[in-house]
């Protein structure tokens, strides 16, 4: 060891002499910088400055032992050495330039640099969390509507469906002049407002729309505010499109008017090219999703429906649609806004096709062939009146919504040679009120929520000739059956919550209730009236009441890489179903505890795991409680005179993820299992014509489901492509009574999904995806049938010149059920912008091969369902879009 040191020392001396000789012109000043407490000072600078102009000639930074090493050119006779460190008072000393050692000792100082701000000019003015972009600086010749400019602003992106993202996240509010006119339907303004009308765009970062929570509850969401140029402006945009064959149209007219305290936007749109304009009424905000479940009508009666094909509406939606929308907002006082929105949508949709349904029973196979032609006419009128008071001391929101809907449907049906007409009418009225009130108590904010809704839905179904003649009319033919039904729902919910934070543990107590009362009355009228059937069996007069109160504590704990979450709701539920006609009343009271636990951990940068456990109770719904028969469709006569369904579900889920981005390899494996104990068995009694009766029997039984998913993906650099592969396996086991026998039903699905994406060149990309699936059903472990399906999709996009593009897509579907059908589809689209004139020309050719129909197959526990849908013919549409100011 000692020997080694000597060697090293010799080497050191040698090198020093060697380099010293080589760079004789450089002088070295070295030394040590210590504090007055003799601690070495690290990261101090020692500068040698020119005595004449104080410019730095040479410098050194001290190491962790406080040593420095300064090399100075001997052209200088003497220099000033300045030693500085941010935590110490600077010292300086003049020194002759010669090889020597100079040590310094520094005294600590609470040195305070003055705040320095360097003013800079910018397009962007930034105050607090608001960034303002002055549009004139950004605008170019090509920009026609606001969306064109928004896209260019840093951090803003607009998705193809119109949703606006800021820093990759959806925006929260879209204000025009500080007012929220459209409440989430902002595409109407964004895509139609000419740029000339806009002064600036403000991005409100970390915007908390509820002023009271501002600075208390942190918001990480951004909102956008559009500032218009002075004065009232009438602005808008128009689009015209036409094509063949038959005669096609597509029209959009959107005028707008904005003033400081009043805003107005209207639109009229109509088309028959398969464009689903009703979708525009969807909101991008997610606020009121869960509340609406009881203010939407339930489909009691149905003509035989169609399953839409799994591709673009433009291929199959045979529509004549009209959309009117009127939006008005007025700021009646400071901080109080009143908003009114009204929409009217009329959609006439024709559907044509045929369906094959096969029921497998232990003893028999029943096959139903139906050729169907539907004419649907839906008219929807919606209105919303919203009042919002938003001050720093109080937040109050009340929103009243109204909806009226008329659905009229006619179906001509051929079931293996028998012709049936079904006519359905279902007028519906609903009204709902949403209330949210926040007020402070001892620095904690109490949040009160309440929601109320009322629904009245009449439904009528007329079936000609009269169905179920054996059952309903002693085997004699009769002219028609008319099922009348009225469903009324009164729903209310409320909750109070607050939130507490104890270091790593977060606690959120909440109490609340949920209540609904539903009334179902129905009658089945046969014409001519039959004398031989007990009429009470065909009537319902059901009152179904559900009341639930709950209290829960939410807990979340984080430690290192672990996250534990637990919610512990304790629920008291009371159910009551009574029918005066049959003098039957059922009651149920249960106290349930429904905890949920989830644990996750990131094991390393590459691996992560998760585990979840849960338990829940379910007490069925009104559809399992009606005791008189209802003719729900021409071959579905149902009643359900059972006890309350009680289901207790336990579930477990686990996941493992692996990723190695450096090699672009990703893998994930998920498993989910669910076990349900059920007190009822539902029995499907299937008649000769395929008519079914669903009844339930009190019999404890179990069902379970198991799902396994594997996803793999790998980037292959040499081929500029990504290859991915997905496998999904699922098994569902349940018990059913089929044809009078208790049977174990098994359902196995295997889906394989390889896909390939290739970046061909800077001007072209291609995408290929295929799906192979095998669906197997078994009854008492005996396989009934297998269905193989495969789907292949190929898409090619070419980018031409400045902003033109050409898209080609082809699809192939095949299944080996119901006659082994092949389906080929081919589409073409081309866009050419004339940028200077703010006009876009578009050309699209759909269904080039003129494929007539599309067949898809579905299965459930005991039946297969194959559905053939008549597509739109091969069609060509030209579009021209332009702005109006």
Partner 1 sequence: MKIILITFLSLLFFNSVSWSQESVNYIIYYNLSYQYDSTNDKSHNEKMALYVYNNYSYFSSYNHILGDSVQRMIEKNFDPNSGELDLTKYDIPRTNFPFRIIKSPEQIRVYHEHLAIYRYLEDPSSFCWEIQNETITINGLKCQKALVTHGGRNYTAWFTTDIPINSGPYIFTGLPGLIVKIHDDRDHYNFTLLEIKKSTKDLPIEEPQSFQEITKAEFLKMMNDYRRNPIIHIKQYANINLSPEDIRRIKEREKRKNNPIELTAN
Q: Which member of 13, 234, 664, 699 binds partner 1 (CB under 8 A)?
A: 664
Taking CB under 8 A as the rule, does residue 82 contact partner 1? Answer: yes
Taking CB under 8 A as the rule, does residue 710 contact partner 1? Answer: no
Q: Cβ contacts of residue 38 below 8 Å, gap of 6+? A: none
Of residues 441-500, which lie at the interface with partner 1 (CB under 8 A)?
Answer: 447, 497-499
Q: What is the 8-class DSSP label of residue 152?
A: H
Nearest residue (CB) to partner 1, 38 versus 605 = 605
Q: Which member of 96, 169, 299, 837 binds partner 1 (CB under 8 A)?
A: 169
Taking CB under 8 A as the rule, does residue 502 contact partner 1? Answer: no
Contact 396, 437 (CB under 8 A): yes
Question: Given the rule CB under 8 A, which of 79-87, 314-322, 643-651, 773-781 is the region that contacts partner 1?
Answer: 79-87
SS3 state at 12: helix
Of residues 299-338, which lie at the interface with partner 1 (CB under 8 A)?
Answer: none
Nearest residue (CB) to partner 1, 172 versus 409 = 172
Closest CA to 734 of 721, 723, 743: 743
- Residues 836-865, one symbol each (x = binds partner 1 by CB under 8 A, - = not), give ------------------------------
Q: Which member of 155, 740, 819, 852 binds partner 1 (CB under 8 A)?
A: 155
Q: Which member of 117, 230, 442, 698 binds partner 1 (CB under 8 A)?
A: 117
Of residues 215-234, which lie at the interface with partner 1 (CB under 8 A)?
Answer: 217-218, 220-222
Question: Given the rule CB under 8 A, which of 150-158, 183-191, 317-325, 854-862 is the region that contacts partner 1?
Answer: 150-158
610 φ/ψ angles, rounded to the nearest 5 degrees: -150, 150
Closest distance to partner 1 from the beta carbon of 541 (Å): 40
Number of residues that bind partner 1 (CB under 8 A): 89
473 φ/ψ angles, rounded to the nearest 5 degrees: -145, 35
Joined together, the tokens standing for residue 199 give 């002064």
Nearest residue (CB) to partner 1, 342 versus 756 = 756
Of residues 355-414, which lie at the interface with partner 1 (CB under 8 A)?
Answer: none
SS3 state at 822: strand
71 φ/ψ angles, rounded to the nearest 5 degrees: -105, 125
* DSSP strands (E only) in 306-364: 318-333, 336-360
Q: Which member of 442, 583, 605, 698 binds partner 1 (CB under 8 A)?
A: 605
Joined together, the tokens standing for residue 79 give 């220099």
Rounded CA gap, 252 and 879, in Å?
11
Nearest residue (CB) to partner 1, 5 versus 218 = 218
Q: Which member of 98, 107, 136, 157 binds partner 1 (CB under 8 A)?
A: 157
Rounded CA gap, 598 and 651, in Å?
12
Closest distance to partner 1 from the beta carbon of 605 (Å): 4
Taking CB under 8 A as the rule, does residue 46 contact partner 1? Answer: yes
Q: What is the 8-class DSSP label of residue 664?
A: T
Taking CB under 8 A as the rule, does residue 807 contact partner 1? Answer: yes
Q: Cβ contacts of residue 214 below 8 Å, gap of 6+? A: 208, 392
Joined together, the tokens standing for residue 159 give 């998705």
Rounded CA gap, 700 and 345, in Å?
47
531 φ/ψ angles, rounded to the nearest 5 degrees: -95, -10
Of residues 737-796, which lie at the interface with partner 1 (CB under 8 A)?
Answer: 755, 757-759, 762, 765
Taking CB under 8 A as the rule, does residue 532 contact partner 1? Answer: no
281 φ/ψ angles, rounded to the nearest 5 degrees: -80, -5
Q: Which member of 113, 289, 441, 591 binds partner 1 (CB under 8 A)?
A: 113
- Bridge partner residues of 658 (DSSP): 607, 667
Taking CB under 8 A as the rule, does residue 247 contact partner 1? Answer: no
Closest CA to 411 of 420, 401, 399: 420
Contact 132, 200 (CB under 8 A): yes
Rg (CA), the chain: 37
Nearest residue (CB) to partner 1, 110 versus 247 = 110
Taking CB under 8 A as the rule, does residue 279 contact partner 1? Answer: no
Closest CA to 546 of 293, 300, 302: 293
Nearest residue (CB) to partner 1, 367 versus 559 = 559
Nearest residue (CB) to partner 1, 138 versus 342 = 138
Taking CB under 8 A as the rule, does residue 580 contact partner 1? Answer: no
């Amino acid at each position: 060891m000692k020997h080694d040191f000597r060697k090293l020392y010799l080497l050191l001396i040698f090198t020093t002499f060697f380099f010293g000789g080589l760079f004789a012109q450089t002088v070295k000043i070295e030394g040590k910088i210590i504090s007055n407490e003799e601690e070495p000072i690290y990261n101090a600078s020692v500068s040698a400055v020119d005595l004449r102009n104080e410019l730095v000639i040479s410098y050194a930074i001290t190491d962790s032992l406080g040593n420095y090493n300064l090399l100075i050119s001997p052209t200088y006779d003497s220099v000033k050495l300045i030693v500085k460190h941010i935590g110490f008072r600077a010292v300086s000393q003049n020194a002759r330039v010669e090889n020597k050692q100079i040590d310094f000792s520094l005294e600590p100082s609470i040195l305070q640099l003055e705040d320095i701000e360097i003013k800079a000019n910018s397009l962007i003015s930034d105050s607090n969390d608001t960034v303002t972009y002055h549009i004139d600086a950004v605008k170019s010749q090509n920009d026609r509507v606001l969306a064109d400019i928004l896209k260019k602003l840093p951090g803003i992106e607009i998705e193809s469906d119109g949703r606006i993202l800021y820093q990759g996240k959806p925006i929260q509010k879209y204000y025009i002049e500080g007012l929220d006119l459209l409440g989430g339907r902002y595409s109407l303004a964004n895509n139609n407002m000419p740029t000339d009308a806009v002064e600036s765009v403000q991005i409100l970062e970390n915007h908390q729309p509820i002023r009271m929570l501002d600075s208390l509850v942190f918001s990480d969401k951004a909102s956008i505010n559009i500032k218009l140029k002075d004065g009232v402006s009438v602005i808008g945009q128009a689009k015209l499109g036409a094509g063949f064959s038959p005669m096609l149209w597509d029209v959009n007219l959107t005028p707008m008017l904005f003033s400081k305290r009043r805003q107005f936007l209207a639109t009229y749109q109509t088309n028959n090219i398969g464009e689903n304009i009703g979708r525009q009424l969807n909101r991008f905000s997610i606020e009121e999703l869960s509340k609406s479940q009881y203010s939407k009508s339930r489909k009691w009666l149905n003509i035989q429906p169609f399953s839409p094909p799994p591709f673009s509406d433009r291929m199959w939606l045979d529509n004549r649609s009209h959309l009117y929308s009127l939006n008005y907002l007025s700021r009646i006082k400071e901080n109080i806004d009143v908003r009114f929105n009204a929409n009217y949508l009329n959609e006439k949709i024709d559907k044509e096709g045929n369906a094959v349904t096969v029921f497998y029973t232990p003893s028999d196979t029943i096959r139903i062939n139906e050729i169907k032609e539907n004419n649907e006419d839906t008219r929807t009128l919606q209105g919303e009146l919203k009042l919002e008071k938003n001050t720093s001391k109080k937040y109050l929101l009340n929103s009243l919504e109204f909806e009226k809907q008329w659905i009229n449907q006619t179906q001509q049906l051929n079931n293996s040679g028998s012709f049936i007409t079904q006519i359905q009418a279902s007028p519906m009225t609903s009204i709902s009120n949403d209330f949210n009130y926040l007020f402070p108590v001892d620095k904690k904010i109490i949040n009160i929520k309440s929601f109320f809704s009322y629904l009245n839905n009449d439904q009528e179904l007329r079936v000609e000739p009269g169905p179920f003649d054996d059952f309903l009319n002693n085997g004699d033919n009769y002219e028609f059956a008319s099922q009348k039904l009225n469903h009324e729902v009164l729903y209310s919910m409320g909750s109070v919550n607050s939130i507490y934070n104890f270091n790593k543990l977060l606690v959120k107590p909440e109490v609340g209730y949920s209540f609904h009362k539903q009334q179902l009355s129905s009658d089945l009228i046969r014409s001519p009236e039959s004398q031989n059937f007990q009429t009470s069996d065909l009537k319902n007069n059901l009152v179904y009441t559900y009341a639930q109160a709950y209290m829960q504590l939410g807990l979340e704990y984080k430690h290192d890489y672990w996250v534990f979450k637990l919610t512990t709701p304790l629920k008291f539920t009371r159910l009551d179903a009574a029918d005066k006609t049959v003098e039957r009343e059922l009651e149920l009271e249960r106290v349930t505890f429904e905890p949920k636990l989830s644990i996750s951990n990131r094991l390393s940068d590459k691996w992560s795991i998760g585990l979840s456990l849960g338990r829940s109770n379910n007490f069925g719904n009104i559809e399992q409680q009606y005791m008189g028969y209802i003719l729900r469709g021409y071959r579905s006569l149902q009643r359900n005179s059972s006890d309350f369904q009680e289901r207790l579900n336990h579930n477990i889920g686990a996941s493992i993820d692996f990723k190695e981005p450096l090699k672009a390899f990703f893998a994930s494996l998920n498993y989910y299992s669910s076990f349900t104990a059920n007190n009822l068995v539902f029995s499907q009694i299937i008649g000769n014509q395929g008519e079914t009766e669903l009844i339930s029997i009190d019999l404890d039984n179990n069902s379970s489901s198991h799902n396994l998913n594997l996803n793999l993906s790998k980037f292959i650099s040499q081929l500029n492509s990504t290859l991915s592969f997905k496998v999904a396996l699922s098994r569902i086991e349940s018990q059913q009574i089929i044809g009078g026998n208790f049977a174990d039903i098994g359902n196995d699905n295997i889906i394989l999904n390889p896909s390939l994406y290739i970046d061909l060149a800077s001007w072209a990309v291609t995408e290929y995806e295929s799906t192979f699936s095998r669906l197997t059903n078994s009854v008492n472990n005996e396989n009934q049938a297998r269905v193989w399906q495969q789907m292949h999709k190929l898409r090619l996009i070419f980018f031409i010149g400045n902003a033109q593009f050409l898209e080609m897509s082809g699809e192939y579907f095949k299944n080996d059920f119901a006659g082994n059908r092949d389906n080929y589809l081919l589409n073409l689209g081309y866009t050419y912008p004339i940028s200077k004139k703010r006009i876009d020309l578009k050309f699209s050719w759909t269904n080039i091969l003129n494929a007539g129909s599309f067949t898809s197959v579905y299965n459930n526990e005991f039946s297969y369902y194959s559905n053939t849908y008549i597509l739109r013919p091969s069609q060509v549409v030209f579009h021209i879009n332009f702005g109006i100011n």
